[in-house]
Chains A and B, each alone.
Chain A
Amino acid sequence: MENMKSPEELSIFLEKNAKKKGYYLNKDTVFVNALLGGLLKNLDRYGYSSCPCRLSTGNYTLDLDLICPCAYMENDVQKYGSCFCALYVSKEVYEGEKLVSSIPESRPYNKIFNVNYSQVDVSKVVATKKWKCSVCGYEHLGEDPPEKCPKCGASKEFFKQKNIL
């Protein structure tokens, strides 16, 4: 995913990932392409593909729960038939037995309103180790791998340590 520039390329990647994990992507391609455009915009301006339907702070740690697929996706799909954006949907929706609609926000109040959006992320890590995401190839410098890949959302276990040079 590191060289992904178009919604089409991202869409192929997400489809593969969804299939692997048993998720279903919304079949409405116009809708999905608009969301993918938003994801790519966030990847470009924040450095990670956070939810296009929520406001990111620009601080990786604070926005971790918003990196797509977000921390609320599975529960929301189960409860409402889709995630907050309606990028991911339930099997019923996918098979056309149910329609998608706008759902309530499941993210906790304090993560939305009790944060400072004007802060600057100064958590510069002195690089001692290099980690590479085995799913998408994203590289991370730091003592530990990130909790979740900022590019593709793969969890910590997918990171392998690489030589720093």
Chain B
Amino acid sequence: MIKHVEGTNDKHSVFLYTLSTCVWCKKTKQFLLDMGIKYAYIDVDLLEGSQQDKVMSEISAVNPQGGFPTMVIDKTETIVGYQPESIKETLG
């Protein structure tokens, strides 16, 4: 369910809520990979309905406006959408 991607930069805990079909999500994953950042993600559309309910309530707590990808850094900071500049600033 949760997939882990290894990287040389593991200074922060990085978790992504994504959809397998969303292109901004794909670009965000690729950007993190290119930057060598260690992260974990979950493709919400591939989960079963009951798990989707649970995960959506997690997302609403950190990103009330909604939208994929939702990135949570160190369980405190949230970046919504494909935001290479903010990612670089926060994790670079």
On whether the two chains bind one another, the answer is: yes
Chain A contacts to B: CB under 8 angstroms: 31, 34-35, 37-39, 41-42, 52-56, 58, 84-86, 101-105, 107, 109, 112-113, 116-120
Bits for B49-79, please: 1 = Cβ < 8 Å to A, else 0. 1101100110110001111100000000000
Minimum Cβ distance to chain B for residue A5 (Å): 16
Q: In the assembled complex, which residues on chain B have CB atoms less than 8 Å from the CB atom of A112? A: 56, 60, 66
Number of interface residues of B (CB under 8 A): 28
Q: In the assembled complex, which residues on chain B have CB atoms less than 8 Å from the CB atom of A55? A: 19, 44-45, 52, 56, 68
Q: Which residue of B lies closest to A39 (CB)?
A: B21
Minimum Cβ distance to chain A for residue B77 (Å): 17
The answer for the CA separation of A53 and B26 in the assembled complex, in Å, is 10
The answer for the CA separation of A119 and B52 in the assembled complex, in Å, is 11
Minimum Cβ distance to chain B for residue A25 (Å): 14
Q: Is the CB of A113 within 8 A of B60?
A: yes
Residue among A52, A58, A120 with the highest chain B CB neighbour number at 10 A: A52
Q: Is the CB of B52 within 8 A of A105?
A: no
Check: B34 CB closer than 8 A to any chain A CB: no
Q: Is the CB of B65 within 8 A of A52?
A: no
